[in-house]
Chains A and B, each alone.
Chain A
């Protein structure tokens, strides 16, 4: 199975890049003595060169080091907020699909309402009133990104619930919770996995937008978003490296997760494959 997965070039690229990034976030701090806050004042706003491979920002801090430390935050936000969304979205979706009736109605109307809001607006609204820090960012992204997942899981659950093995389980008087998680969950896990992987990418994207707007990770802590803010502020000084490198980091990371997600879809989702054959 694993071997087959890695034959897929999309997955291979995605996993390799993510693994490399994670590895770098562990290795670089051990090997390079620079901290992301350390200033090299004579070399303020210096363009990429031998000493600072990605240049320095207006305070003389090394951009490469800041991007590597920023990666920790981005990856953490990605994984944690998706976990939160999964913990809320999957049980609700299973419940709605399995139970039907008013429970289904109630849950799906809440989902509809949540989906009506431009999610970034909702997130901005909440985050401004909370202290903008990484924990709140993760919580808010997680708490606002479950509705799509719920809708998806519900659809899957609906198609599973009339199957014979569920009826059999009901007949054997197995408890509802047990049916939901032991009998139904494994059968809807594939699409959940795909959605979750894609969700990590979009959570990373959201975090960078928030930090860029000054509502996420607060300076001086490095984050890809707030490096971009300094890039915007020093655009007049033509500090292109403050824009290009963090933008590239976000792009490649999000791309990797999307590639993994799509690759998984090719393998796990039989319907999609059918479509592809055309």
Chain B
């Protein structure tokens, strides 16, 4: 399942990149020092004169060994460029995931337990608003309010200019300060989705017979919720984890660009803008790979938390 999907992903991204008009050599047309012959040599150097399937075969052979070639822009290795950006993206998304789980799970449980109460209704409205909120516009509003108007939080980059002069804890604090706004905006969409799902799951678990049985045994309400309901409601949560990953990673293209966050998403945006094929393809493959890994973790976690599920050997 994993391998064919990955091949399909590479085929699609490769085709898309090459079917679209424009070529990376176009940039040199503006440069008076590069004549048509030199341009052609570049063309050949990059292998762009070969038929598509040969280009693909060559590229795919390299991809298996994580060799994405060199960037058309600065000649540096694509993998190096991605690897130096990857930690920033992972940091941002892990924090976002943390926020999503930390807020959505209690919120979902709360609104399910107090079903149809004022709290439930209020949370439902919030969740619905969160669904419809354009996160990138929210990012701008937050930037304006906290960054420009009150000046409490930095609005771009990952660290301050004086970062290297700070003490260790100063560095950590500086980084956390830069994380606040990007993390909030990345988390909003998933937050709404997640808490709503959590509510539905908890409601479903609450209806089951074993909960009635536990209640009949006289277990306290708190005990029922924390031990019996919560643990059973966790199961679908694990699958959702896999679903959240692509949207988070896709979102990082937008949010990293807005907040000038030096991650993979911004690298991708820049590469797309300058038609740097190898970088775009490399980022595409890594993104899809992260998504697949997320799904895999979800599958494994699913089997781990739910004893009823056993994959056939």
A-side residues, CB < 8 A to B, are: 109-110, 112-122, 124-126, 128-130, 201, 205, 208-209, 212-213, 228, 231-232, 235-236, 238, 240, 243-244, 246-247, 250-251, 254-255, 258-259, 262, 275, 278
A–B pairs, 20, beta carbons within 8 Å: A109-B4, A109-B8, A113-B12, A116-B246, A117-B250, A118-B249, A118-B250, A120-B250, A120-B251, A121-B268, A125-B16, A128-B275, A129-B275, A209-B254, A212-B136, A235-B148, A238-B144, A238-B149, A254-B132, A258-B132
Q: Of the candidates B128, B137, B203, B251, which one forms a contact with A278 in the assembled complex, judged by CB atoms under 8 Å apart? A: B203
Closest to A247 in B: B137
Q: Are A117 and B203 in contact (CB under 8 A)?
A: no
Does B247 belong to the interface (CB within 8 Å)?
yes
Given contacts A116-B292, A118-B247, 14 further A-B contacts (CB under 8 A): A110-B8, A114-B12, A116-B9, A116-B246, A118-B246, A118-B291, A120-B251, A121-B284, A129-B275, A208-B134, A232-B258, A247-B141, A278-B203, A278-B207
Give every chain B residue within 8 A of A113 (Cβ-Cβ). 5, 8-9, 12
Give every chain A residue within 8 A of B280 (Cβ-Cβ). 125
- Segment of B17-25, B53-61, B162-170 in the binding face: B17-25
Does B306 belong to the interface (CB within 8 Å)?
no
Q: Mark B269-302, 1 if CB is under 8 A from A, else 0.
A: 1001101000010011001100110000000000
Does B115 belong to the interface (CB within 8 Å)?
yes
Q: How far is the CA of A121 from the CA of B12 in the complex (A)?
A: 13
CB distance from A13 to the nearest CB of B (A): 11
Q: Mark B125-138, 1 if CB is under 8 A from A, else 0.
A: 00011011110111
Does B200 belong to the interface (CB within 8 Å)?
yes
Q: How far is the CA of A240 from the CA of B275 in the complex (A)?
A: 34
Q: How far is the CA of A246 from the CA of B144 in the complex (A)?
A: 14
CB distance from A251 to the nearest CB of B (A): 6
Does B84 belong to the interface (CB within 8 Å)?
no
Q: Mark B1-33, 1 if CB is under 8 A from A, else 0.
A: 000110011001100110011100000000000
Given contacts A121-B284, A275-B200, contact A112 B5 (CB under 8 A): yes
Closest to A278 in B: B203
Q: Of the candidates B5, B149, B250, which one forms a contact with A119 in the assembled complex, judged by CB atoms under 8 Å apart? A: B250
Give every chain A residue within 8 A of B186 (Cβ-Cβ). none
Q: Of the candidates A205, A213, A236, A243, which one forms a contact with B257 in the assembled complex, judged by CB atoms under 8 Å apart? A: A213
Does B140 belong to the interface (CB within 8 Å)?
yes
Q: How far is the CA of A236 from the CA of B155 in the complex (A)?
A: 12
Q: Of the candidates A117, A212, A236, A238, which one forms a contact with B288 in the assembled complex, judged by CB atoms under 8 Å apart? A: A117
Q: Are B269 and A124 in contact (CB under 8 A)?
A: yes
B220-258 residues with Cβ-Cβ distance < 8 A to A are 246-247, 249-251, 253-254, 257-258
Q: Are A235 and B143 in contact (CB under 8 A)?
A: yes
Q: How far is the CA of A141 from the CA of B34 in the complex (A)?
A: 38
Give every chain A residue within 8 A of B131 (Cβ-Cβ). 258
Q: Are A254 and B148 in contact (CB under 8 A)?
A: no
Q: How far is the CA of A233 from the CA of B60 in the complex (A)?
A: 41
Q: Of the candidates B200, B247, B272, B287, which one forms a contact with A128 in the assembled complex, judged by CB atoms under 8 Å apart? A: B272
Scoring B132, B203, B206 by chain A CB atoms within 10 A of each residue's CB, the highest score goes to: B132
Q: Are B246 and A129 in contact (CB under 8 A)?
A: no
Q: How far is the CA of A109 from the CA of B12 in the complex (A)?
A: 13
CB distance from A163 to the nearest CB of B (A): 26
Does B49 belong to the interface (CB within 8 Å)?
no
CB distance from B143 to the nearest CB of A (A): 7
Q: Are B22 and A129 in contact (CB under 8 A)?
A: yes
Q: How far is the CA of A254 from the CA of B204 in the complex (A)?
A: 29
CB distance from B132 to the nearest CB of A (A): 4
CB distance from B144 to the nearest CB of A (A): 6
Q: Are A213 and B269 in contact (CB under 8 A)?
A: yes
Q: How far is the CA of A118 from the CA of B4 in the complex (A)?
A: 18
Q: Are A247 and B9 in contact (CB under 8 A)?
A: no
Q: How far is the CA of A240 from the CA of B142 in the complex (A)?
A: 11
CB distance from B276 to the nearest CB of A (A): 11
Given contacts A121-B268, A255-B132, A258-B128, contact A116 B137 (CB under 8 A): no
Give every chain B residue within 8 A of A201 (Cβ-Cβ). 132
Give every chain A residue within 8 A of B149 (Cβ-Cβ). 238, 240
